[in-house]
Amino acid sequence: MPQPVAADKTALSVGEIARRCDIPVSTVHFYEAEGLIRSWRNNANHRRYSRHVLRRIAVIKVAQRTGITLREIKQALAVLPEDSAPTAAQWQAMSRQWQALLQQKIADLNLLQQQLDSCIGCGCLSLADCPLRNPGDCRAEGGTFEQG
């Protein structure tokens, strides 16, 4: 629960954050509930956000667009200071964490594209032969396979 603090004239309300980030107020609350951003309460018991939250939300939105999960975003943001604007070096250190992750996602999508190409026109969806139906050939390795 955010604690009341002295007035900060540069702080933003939840509505200002939502408007400037072009997201619903509910999304601001969701990001906060997920621990991605943080607020405090002013003397009127209203939530207030530091201006650097705008950049955190911009990064969250970009990361979500690239398919990075909220859990992965939270892990990356954890290396940044919560009470001050990160330096350029800190942002770069955080973004480097995502390079390998994005490379793996690109490799996975390329493989899926190749598998789709081989399956177009086939349509068998064979458990034994289809890489889309049986990714990683998990049946051959004695692993579990859930039919759906």
Which residues are at the interface with ligand FES (CB under 6 A)? 119, 122-126, 129-130, 132
CB of 118 to ligand FES, least distance (A): 6
CB of 133 to ligand FES, least distance (A): 6
Considering the complex, state which of residue 2 and residue 131 has its C-beta at the smaller distance from ligand FES.
131
Q: 59-62: long-range contacts at Cβ-Cβ below 8 A with a sequence spacing of 24 or more? A: 59/91, 59/94, 60/31, 60/36, 61/21, 61/23
Q: List the beta bridge partners of residue 41.
A: 4, 47
CB of 136 to ligand FES, least distance (A): 14
Considering the complex, state which of residue 78 and residue 128 has its C-beta at the smaller distance from ligand FES.
128
> What is the CA 116 to chain-centroid distance, rounded?
27
